[in-house]
Structure 1
């Protein structure tokens, strides 16, 4: 199963499909084939592995898969049917599929006489699929909120200047993470004040192959010469302050992950409404003082109301520190 997770990591974080890996074992325990899912419209991991074998060669094998085989027809056919047609005798998977349309593969396989073993390395599998599982279970994009601040929590100096609080290594990390999200969201305040391009760029300023879809929330118009109008993905304008409605619209556009780089108004509203799943906080070893904090009022009137998070990781980026934290995951039935 750990090998299957390694294979799954070769897939893309972008789009509606999860990253899945598959290992096919012969009855003697040797590896017959390996496969992984490369993105929407391509063969699923199980079919990718099966495609490497001659007809009949998969009969009697065990399929070890990181996610329960799907049981629906989308751009590709059901993996449950592919496994049955190939004569696979046993299926072992880590995480059950929570999808309303795609789940049910395990039941289909059992009903057809296949030995099915669920939950192998489930905790590791769920951690690996955390972003996708959260989006599917909450029926909205996974929301990552990012800010860069001084050690005393200020994102800008008193005059509003903020370039640059953090150093080159931290900013390069931000661009890499932009490329790992389907969309990037800011409010009109940030768009008008900073005139950002919201592209993902390399150290030399060139565009990375994957670019997030830029989304600007708010009812103020952007000037004709705004940098966002030249974004290679186009621009989504959401003339509303209802952030839940914006996320719902992005979900319908097949956006499954959103990186929020907006100012304290947008960021605080998302936090207040419980719409943030993960936090990326870049801390610079500097002090600014003043009122320009990363977040505004969150409705925390007493210490008992504090919004406690779980730290996932910390990393040194040059002189700066990146703290990755998560909000409690509210799973739906």
Structure 2
């Protein structure tokens, strides 16, 4: 993979993680269409980013301790969640899977961890009462990942506090959150009162995906600050949002 253009690295650099006491630095980053869709339909993988911004994503991964996605993204994309930026380290995958749906033993990530010296096994966050298949738990443990059981409830705000507090206890000081839409909308919806997110890095592709697409649009308005833009075959908006 070719490195990102120098001008793009210069644009994103001020928005990369720095130390925050007692909480991980959170970067929310994703690619969307002109009509704010991140996929053409639920459960499908849709190409939006160009080559430069795809390379940027892997560079950003190398600058974080962990990369977080939800179970919907995992089931739709079977992602490897590693870093392909030359010389960069892969982050620890963190998967939000409250009901233990992911068949990890059959995933691309499981194969990658077995065949790579760099890729890390995931931390999978599940509800306290989730029924985990024994073979999946054994495979995760063998690869030095883990299931993290938390007292998740219908209170989404409380759940996010539990999740980020647990990651802090695991010495994860920075988290890159890539999706999916439910997680993105959830975090943005709390941003005015509970600013979990620190930086926002969004790739905007020159395409409309239509009304059947998966939309990112929080229920209340959020105003990013200190915005910077990069343009190429697509464009990138970087901003600060939340804690300084």
Q: TM-score, normalised by structure 1?
A: 0.53
The CA deviation at 1:161 is: 3.6
What CA deviation, in whole Å up to 9, does each residue of 1:220-268 have, x standing for no partner?
Answer: 3321211232442111011045222111111111111100012111112
In 2, Cα distance between equivalents of 1:154 and 1:130? 24
2:219 to 288, 293, 299: 299
Highest relative contact order (Cα 8 Å, sep 6+), 1 or 2? 2
Matching of residue 290 in structure 1 with residue 169 in structure 2: no
C-alpha distance in 1, partners of 2:189/2:180? 14
Structure 2 residue runs without a partner (length 5+): 1-12, 114-118, 128-151, 153-158
1:257 equivalent to 2:174? Answer yes
* RMSD value, Cα: 2.3
| C-alpha contact 2:40 2:46 (8 A) present in aligned 1 | no
| Residue 50 of structure 2 is aligned to residue 167 of structure 1 | yes
Matched, 1:234 2:117: no
Number of aligned residue pairs: give it. 190
Alignment partners' CA distance in 2, 1:293 and 1:310: 25
Measure how far apart 1:159 and its partner are.
Answer: 6.3
TM-aligned CA distance change 1:165 to 1:272, over 3 Å: same
Deviation at 1:289, TM superposition (A): 1.4
The separation in 1 between residues aligned to 2:87 and 2:199, in whole angstroms, is 23
Matched, 1:211 2:90: yes
State the distance in 1 between where 2:73 and 2:40 align: 15
- 1:129 and 1:266 mapped to 2: Cα distance? 20
Q: Deviations over 1:192-217 (max 9, x none)?
A: 11100000103xxxx74411000001
